[in-house]
Structure 1
Amino acid sequence: MLTSALVLGLLGSLHCLGMCGPIAFMLPLDHENVAKKTVQLSIYHAGRLLAYGIIGILFGFLGKGLSLFGMQQKLSIGIGVLMILLVLIPSKYLNGHKILTPIYSILGKVKSKLGGELKKKTPDAFLTIGFLNGFLPCGLVYMALLGAIALGGPLQGGLYMVLFGLGTVPLMSLVVYSKGMFSNSIKFKIQKLIPVFVVLIGILFIVRGLGLGIPYVSPKPMSTGSVTATIECHQP
């Protein structure tokens, strides 16, 4: 399951370029010094991974809370179904709801703070830019968060999101060094693969929740009634 996070990040990198690419291009990097530029870019990515990890931990606690009520399998199936539905339902039906107004207000403040940090060149500025970048709205991040919830634990959720973030690093770094390296046709083909892979991840979560007895993929649920302990007391 953790591998799916890394692959989702890798395949979704082109989608990330559309959302976070402009920020990456605007980074106040030292283009004259390759070594310094690499360090600055690494700090930026570290900020993104830190944000993803924190978000993953928080949503992992949510998953853990649900699993404590014996809903681990149902949760996995529900997350899988939700992933598939979010791919199939047109985005126009999901946007513009009033319930999202407070979120948009917070995001406006994040973007304002991000704009100020982009004018600086200090190491902490690159970390802050990456950290704030991790909280910007992104459909692919939302999909990864569903996976973090389904794993049912804060550490697992945090690790899932960090692996997702690591998957986006190679391409996000490559475009900074080689602008315009991908043709529109290649981008379009990879973009078409993203929904397919999200559906496959959704199916994987559903299979996991069914408890089919497949090792590492769909293990059978543990039955508390099947474990008994016998204590024998011997009188001296």
Structure 2
Amino acid sequence: MITSALVLGLLGSLHCLGMCGPIAFMLPLDQSNMTKKTIQLSIYHFGRLLAYGIIGMLFGFLGKGLALFGIQQKLSIGIGVIMILLVLIPTKYLNGHKFLTPVYSLLGKVKSKLGGELKKKTPDAFLTIGFLNGFLPCGLVYMALLGAIAMGNPLQGGLYMMLFGLGTVPLMSLVVYSKGILGNSIKNKFRKLIPVFVVIIGALFIVRGLGLGIPYVSPKPMATNSVTATIECHQP
């Protein structure tokens, strides 16, 4: 299940180009020195992965808390259902709600900070840009976070998000170096695959929660063994 994050990142890279691509194109990379440019871009990606890892751990804690109530299987099924519904429900019904106002306010602060860092060329600036980039709202990231919750473990949740971020690195880097090598027709074809794969991942989480006894995919829940202690009192 955890490897699904890497595939989601790989397939979702084209979506990332629309969200994070403009930031990647504006990076103050050293165009005269390929080695230095590669190091700068790597630092930027490391910042993104670090942000994803931290967020994944936080949501993994949330999943662990829910698992402590003995609803790990129900949680997996519920998250799978939510993933599928988010693909099927039009985006217009999810936007414009008042409860999102704090999110938009935070987003404005992150963008403002990003604008200042994009004017610098120091290594810490590339790290900061990547780190802040990781906190920008993105529908695909939200899907990955649902997977991090389903992991039910902080470390696995962090790993899930970092693998997701790692999956976006190859195409994001390729586009920065090639200045838009992919045509719009290819991008559109890949974008159509993203919802399909999200539905497949959602279905896998549902199957996992059903406990069908399929190794690595849907293992049976561990039986809870009860221990009964009998105390006998002997009269003298």
Distance 1:148 1:228 in 2: 33
Q: CA separation in 2, counterparts of 1:162 and 1:140?
A: 14
Aligned to 2:100: 100
Aligned partner of 2:37 in structure 1 is 37
Long gaps (5+) in structure 2: 230-236
Residue 88 of structure 1 corresponds to 88
| Structure 1 residue 229, shift from structure 2 partner | 9.2
Aligned-partner Cα distance in 2 for 1:189–1:210: 33
Q: Matches of residues 173-188 of structure 1 in structure 2 within 5 Å?
A: 173-188=173-188
> 1:117-132 residue pairs with structure 2 within 5 A?
117-132=117-132
Q: What is the TM-score with the length of structure 1 in the denominator?
A: 0.96
In structure 2, what is the Cα distance between the partners aligned to 1:43 and 1:163? Answer: 16
Name stretches of at least 5 consecutive residues in structure 1 with no aligned partner.
231-236
The equivalent residue for 1:217 is 217
Alpha-carbon distance in structure 1 between the residues aligned to 2:121 and 2:108: 23
Q: Which amino acid aligns with 1:198?
A: V
> Matches of 1:143 and 1:19 in 2, distance apart?
15
Report Cα offsets for 1:102-122 as digits up to 9, x if no partner: 111011000000000000000
Q: CA deviation at 1:180?
A: 2.0
State the SS of the aligned residue for 1:224.
Answer: coil
Task: Give every structure 1 segment of 4 or more consecutive aligned residues whose post-TM-superposition deviation is greater than 6 Å.
Answer: none
User: 2: distance between equivalents of 1:153 and 1:3?
Assistant: 15
* Secondary structure in structure 2 of the residue aligned to 1:180: coil
Q: Partners of 1:228 and 1:5 in 2: how far apart?
A: 39
Specify the alignment match of 1:143 in structure 2. 143
Q: CA deviation at 1:219?
A: 0.3
Q: Which amino acid counterpart does residue 215 of structure 1 have in structure 2?
A: P
Counterpart residue type for residue 172 of structure 2: M
SS of 1:201's partner is helix
C-alpha deviation, 1:5, in angstroms: 0.1
Deviations 1:103-152 (A, max 9, x none): 11011000000000000000000000000000001000000000000010
Match of 1:234 in 2: none
What is the alpha-carbon distance in structure 2 between the residues aligned to residue 151 and residue 51 of structure 1?
Answer: 18
| Number of equivalences | 229
Question: What aligned pairs does 1:6-21 form with structure 2 within 5 A after superposition?
Answer: 6-21=6-21
SS across alignment from 2:119: coil
Q: In 2, Cα distance between the equivalents of 1:45 and 1:110?
A: 17
Distance 1:163 1:229, change over 3 A: farther
Q: By how many angstroms is 1:179 displaced?
A: 1.3
Q: Kindly state the Cα deviation for residue 228 of structure 1 after the two structures are TM-superposed.
A: 5.5
Tell me how far apart the structure 1 counterparts of residues 102 and 140 of structure 2 sit (CA, whole Å). 21
**2:190 & 2:88 partners in 1: Cα distance?**
18
Distance of 2:162 and 2:227 partners within structure 1: 39
Distance (whole Å) between structure 2 residues aligned to residue 217 and residue 180 of structure 1: 38
Superposed CA offset, 1:192-224 (max 9, x none): 000000000000000000000000000000111
Q: TM-score, normalised by structure 2?
A: 0.96
- Mapped partners of 2:58, 2:3: distance in 1: 20
The Cα RMSD (Å) is 1.1
Q: Deviations over 1:25-73 (max 9, x none)?
A: 0000001000000000000000000000000000000000000000100
* Alignment match, 1:205: 205
**In the aligned structure 2, how far is the partner of 1:89 from the partner of 1:40?**
39
